[in-house]
Amino acid sequence: MLRIDCPYCGRRAQAEFAFERALDAVLPLDATPEAAVQTLYARTNPKGWTWELWRHTAGCGAWLRLHRHSVSHEIAAVHTVADT
């Protein structure tokens, strides 16, 4: 099980979190139809390091940016979406 360091709640079990989508699949509200198709459906699906959007659903509810490895499951960074 992953253990994710929520910036607000500390280290919590994966069961409290939900994967939302890859970070590059976040659709701008003013995207053209072509850009929307590209953003939503053209996935790089990386085997290795990836940036993702997760949510602490059963905790504080925060939206989080995770830097995670899709083979080793190592998590290198957890940021809030506001924190750039």
Partner 1 sequence: MTRYSTLGLLRAGLSNHRNWPRAWRDPTPKPRYDVIVIGGGGHGLATAYNLAKQHGVRSVAVLERGWIGGGNTGRNTTIVRSNYRQPQLQRLLEYSLKLWEGMTDELNYNVMFSQRGAVFLGHSDADITQLAQRGDALRAQGIDADLMSRAEIARLIPPLDMSPDARFPVFGGLIQRRGGTARHDAVAWGYARAADALGVDIIQNCEVVGFTMKGGRVAGVETTKGAIGADRIGICVAGHSGQVAALAGLKLPIESHLLQAFVSEPVKPMIDTVIMSQSIHCYISQSDKGEVVLGGDPDGYPTYSQRGVPMRLEDVASQAIALVPALSRLRMLRSWAGTTDMSFDGSPILGETPVDGLYLNGGWCYGGFKATPGSGKLFAHHLATGEAHEIAAPFSLDRFARGATIDETGSGPRAQDR
Binding site for partner 1 (CB under 8 A): 1-2, 13-15, 18-19, 21-22, 25, 37, 40-45, 47, 50, 52, 54, 70-73
What Cα–Cα distance (Å) separates residue 41 from each residue in 26, 46, 63, 77? Answer: 11, 14, 22, 26
* Least CB distance to partner 1 at residue 18 (A): 7
- b/e per residue, 33-48, with b = 16+ CB within 10 A? eeeeeeeeeeeeeeee
Kindly tell me which of 40 and 77 has the beta carbon lying closer to partner 1: 40
Closest to partner 1 by CB, 44 vs 84, is: 44
